[in-house]
C-alpha cells in the first residue's frame, strides 16, 4: 500500500514538474480550457444573480386596487373592510386621489403636465401588500376584487415576476445544455494534449514496457496530467468570470441605485466553486483516459 501511494505521489510530482518545464504551452492549454468553461460558468453566475434579484423583488407581492371615479367614501370603506378580512393581506394602505395628485406635482417631470389639468383625473386607490409565496390566494383575491362594485381596475404587480421566473428556468436549462456541449470541447483539448505528450515520450514508454512496467504504471502520469490541466483551466475560468463580474459591478450598482436598490453581482459560494474545479479536473481526467486508451496500445517495445 505504501509503495502504491509513493508511486502516486511520485507520478503527480513528476507530472507537475513536466508541466512547469513548459510554462507557455501549459498556460495556453489552461487558457483555452478556461475560456471554454468561462462561458457556461458566466451564464450560470448571471442566471443565479437574476434569480436572487427576482427573489428580492418578489418578496413583497402587491395588489393595486383603483376605485371608480364616482366611488364614494362609503364604497371605499366597504372595499377596505373586505380586504381586512382576507388572511392573505399583510398590509393595507389607502391612497386618496388628492394625495396621489400632490405627489405627481412634486415630481419635476410631471409638474407642468399636472398644472395644465383642469381637474383631478386620478382615482382613489388601495395598495395591498400580500403574504409572500401564496400565489393562488393572491390570484383568488384579485379576481374577487375585480367583481366588486366601484372597483375600476385591479393590478397584480407580481405577475411579471412569475413570467421572469419561467424565463429563468429556461435559462437554467440553456446553461446546462451549453455546459454539456462545451464539456466535450474540454475533453477534446485534453485528449490532444495528452496524445502529443504520449508521442513525445514514445521511446521512454517502449523502454518502460521492456523492463516490465505495467500499463497502469505507464498510464498514471498521463491521468494526472489531464487532471492538472483541467484543474488549471477551472482556475482560469473562475478568474475570467471574477474579472468580468468586477468590471460589470460598477455599472450594475449605478443602475440599481437609480431604482433605489442596492444590488451587486456575486460569484457562487466556495462550495460551488470547488465543484466547478472538480468538474473541470474530472473532464481533464476523462480526456486523458480516452487519449491513453486509444494511443498507448499502439506503442509496443521493439
Residue 94 belongs to a domain with what CATH number? 3.30.70.3040
Q: Final residue of a domain: which of 137, 157, 177?
A: 157
pLDDT of amino acid 193: 78
Structurally, how many domains does the chain consist of?
Answer: 2
Tell whether the torsion through CA atoms of 5, 11, 12 and 17 is positive or negative.
positive
If asked whether residues 167 and 49 sit together in one domain, one would say yes
Question: Phi, psi (5° rounding) for residue 17?
Answer: -65, -40
pLDDT of amino acid 243: 93
Note whether 158 and 58 are within 8 A (CB). yes
Q: Final residue of a domain: which of 131, 157, 183?
A: 157
If asked whether residues 270 and 132 sit together in one domain, one would say no
pLDDT of amino acid 240: 93
Q: Beta strands 89-95 and 62-67: pairing type?
A: unpaired
- Per-residue cell: 42: 458566466
Give the highest mean pLDDT range of 61-65, 201-205, 259-263, 277-281: 277-281
If asked whether residues 134 and 68 sit together in one domain, one would say yes
Note whether 56 and 161 are within 8 A (CB). no
Alpha-helical (H) ranges within 107-214 are: 111-115, 135-146, 159-200, 202-210
Nearest to 219 by CA among 296, 108, 142: 296
Digit-coded pLDDT (tens) for 36-84: 888 888 888 888 887 777 665 555 577 888 888 888 888 888 888 888 8
Q: Final residue of a domain: which of 116, 136, 157?
A: 157
If asked whether residues 191 and 290 sit together in one domain, one would say yes
Mean pLDDT, rounded, for 119-135: 76
229, containing H or E segment: helix 215-258
Nearest to 92 by CA among 62, 133, 127: 127
Mean pLDDT, rounded, for 23-36: 82
**Structural domain that includes position 84:** 62-157
Output 2 or 80, whichever has higher pLDDT.
80
pTM: 0.65
Digit-coded pLDDT (tens) for 105-114: 666 555 566 5
Question: Where does residue 116 rank: exposed (0-12), middle (13-18), buried (19+ CB within 10 A)?
Answer: exposed
Q: Over pLDDT 70: what percentage of the chain?
A: 73
Amino acid at each position: 500500500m505504501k509503495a502504491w501511494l509513493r508511486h502516486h505521489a511520485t507520478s503527480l510530482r513528476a507530472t507537475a514538474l513536466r508541466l512547469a518545464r513548459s510554462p507557455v504551452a501549459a498556460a495556453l492549454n489552461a487558457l483555452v480550457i478556461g475560456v471554454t468553461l468561462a462561458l457556461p460558468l458566466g451564464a450560470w453566475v448571471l442566471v443565479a444573480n437574476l434569480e436572487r434579484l427576482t427573489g428580492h423583488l418578489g418578496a413583497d407581492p402587491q395588489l393595486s386596487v383603483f376605485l371608480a371615479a364616482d366611488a364614494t367614501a362609503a364604497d371605499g370603506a366597504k372595499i377596505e373592510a373586505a380586504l381586512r378580512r382576507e388572511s392573505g393581506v399583510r398590509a393595507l394602505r389607502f391612497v386618496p386621489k388628492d394625495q396621489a395628485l400632490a405627489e405627481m406635482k412634486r415630481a419635476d417631470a410631471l409638474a407642468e403636465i399636472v398644472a395644465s389639468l383642469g381637474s383631478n383625473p386620478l382615482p382613489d386607490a388601495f395598495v395591498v401588500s400580500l403574504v409572500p409565496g401564496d400565489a393562488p390566494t393572491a390570484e383568488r383575491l384579485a379576481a374577487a376584487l375585480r367583481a366588486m362594485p366601484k372597483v375600476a381596475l385591479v393590478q397584480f404587480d407580481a405577475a411579471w415576476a412569475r413570467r421572469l421566473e419561467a424565463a429563468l428556468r429556461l435559462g437554467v436549462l440553456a446553461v446546462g445544455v451549453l455546459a454539456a456541449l462545451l464539456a466535450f470541447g474540454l475533453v477534446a483539448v485534453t485528449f490532444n494534449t495528452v496524445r502529443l505528450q504520449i508521442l513525445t515520450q514514445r521511446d521512454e514508454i517502449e523502454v518502460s514496457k521492456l523492463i516490465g512496467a505495467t500499463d497502469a504504471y505507464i498510464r498514471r502520469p498521463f491521468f494526472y496530467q489531464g487532471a492538472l490541466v483541467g484543474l488549471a483551466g477551472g482556475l482560469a475560468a473562475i478568474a475570467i468570470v471574477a474579472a468580468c463580474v468586477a468590471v460589470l459591478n460598477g455599472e450594475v450598482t449605478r443602475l440599481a441605485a437609480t431604482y433605489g436598490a442596492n444590488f451587486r453581482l456575486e460569484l457562487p459560494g466556495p462550495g460551488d466553486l470547488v465543484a466547478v474545479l472538480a468538474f473541470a479536473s474530472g473532464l481533464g481526467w476523462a480526456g486523458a483516459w480516452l487519449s491513453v486508451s486509444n494511443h498507448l496500445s499502439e506503442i509496443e517495445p521493439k
